[in-house]
Structures are given as structure tokens and as C-alpha cells.
Amino acid sequence: MKVEVLRIGHRSVRDDRITTHAALVSRAFGSDKIYMTEVDNSIKETLGEIAKRWGGKYDFAIEIIEDWRRVVKNWKKEGGKVVLLTMYGINIDDTISQVQKKNKVLVIIGAEKVPRETYDLADYNVAIGNQPHSEIAALAIFLDRIFSGKQLKKDFSGAKLKIIPMGKGKMVKEIDNNNSNI
């Protein structure tokens, strides 16, 4: 299943960290790409540095866009479905099984209130509960549910560093990509 994220909006300075986290969570929780509006190129550099160290250079992309409506329109034209994460939607427990059957899903999150028309453009308005919280929390839970948790074991190819999971302590191995893995 191909899952991409569209984040609408960005409040300069105030949202800087949150915007980075939206991209990091999209990457780490299994989506293939995030489209972002109103951000500058530094987000690409930040994620590029992460990919250099932790892998997945070709598994995840960021595209900075001007016209999010065009992205949604093209997505639908190609047969993809659109999910808007919103506290006003239907609870995820009651929608996720339908969404999981789709091949292509574009997940929309807002930095703040999203334009009214997104509610109508979306095929599914999905709520992670009906209380207001955060787009990062909403996105993480949505991606976790859509992939049934399997994305957390995803291997990111071409990493320079690899964590050796431990119950106690901390171990990181450097990988020589010119020779064998690890």
C-alpha cells in the first residue's frame, strides 16, 4: 500500500520543530512521501541528513508545494483515496478497515485549521478521538493503525548507522556500505 502525507500550513518559527517532526514521523512510520506547504528548503536538508545516517534515502521524499489542491486533484485522478485527519471526523476504529483496503492513500493533516473545502474533498474524515490534540499524534496513530504496527520493523537501506536493540544500555554500529552490511 502506498501512503503519502499532505501537510497544509506552517506558522513560521512557531511551527519549525513541529514541521520537522511531521516529516520525521511520516518517514519513520512508513509513509513514502510528505508534501508540505509554506516551508523552506531547510526541511529537505534536515531530512537528508537523517537519511544519510539512518538510511532510506530512496524510500522517503519531501516535496515543497505551492498548490495543495492540485496534489489532491491529481491523487484522486490516479484513483487514490484521500483521508483528512480531523477531530470532527468519524472515529478511526470505525473507518480504518475500509481505508486499509485501498491501494493509495493520501493523508491530510493541518498545522492549524484547514480550509473548509478539505472536508468535502476528502473521501474519509477520520478522527483520532473527538478531542483536539496534535497533527503529529494524529498522524502517528493513523499510520500505526493503517500498517497494523508492521512499519516499526521496516529496514531503511543504505544506513551508515544501525542500532543494535538492547533491553538495557545502548549500542550503535557503524556500517561500511562499500563492503558488506555491518
Ligand X SMILES: C[S@@+](CC[C@H](N)C(=O)[O-])C[C@H]1O[C@@H](n2cnc3c(N)ncnc32)[C@H](O)[C@@H]1O
Instruction: Report in angstroms how near the CB of residue 64 gets to ligand X at its nearest.
Output: 19
Number of neighbouring beta carbons within 10 Å of residue 78: 9
**Helix residue spans in the chain (DSSP H):** 16-28, 42-54, 68-77, 96-99, 117-121, 135-146
Instruction: Report in angstroms how near the CB of residue 84 gets to ligand X at its nearest.
Output: 7
73 vs 133 by CB, closer to ligand X: 133
Specify the stretch interacting with ligand X by CB under 6 A; choose among 23-31, 61-69, 110-118, 144-152: 110-118
What whole-number distance in Å separates Cα of residue 170 and Cα of residue 165? 8
Determine which residue in the list 17, 70, 91, 129 makes contact with ligand X, applying CB under 6 A. 129
Contact 18, 136 (CB under 8 A): yes
| Three-state DSSP state, 63 | strand
Residue 86 within binding range of ligand X, rule CB under 6 A = yes
Specify the stretch interacting with ligand X by CB under 6 A; choose among 15-23, 41-49, 95-103, 105-113: 105-113
Residue 133 within binding range of ligand X, rule CB under 6 A = yes
The x, y and z cell numbers of residue 175, run together, are 556500517
Residue 11 within binding range of ligand X, rule CB under 6 A = no
Q: Which phi-psi region, left, alpha or beta, contains residue 13 (left: φ > 0; alpha: ψ -120 to 50)?
A: left
Alpha carbon 9 to chain centroid, angstroms: 15
Determine which residue in the list 49, 73, 87, 94 makes contact with ligand X, applying CB under 6 A. 87
Contact 155, 59 (CB under 8 A): no
Residue 114 within binding range of ligand X, rule CB under 6 A = yes
Residue 182 within binding range of ligand X, rule CB under 6 A = no
Residue 116 within binding range of ligand X, rule CB under 6 A = no
The footprint of ligand X (CB under 6 A) covers 85-87, 109-110, 112-114, 127-129, 131-135, 138
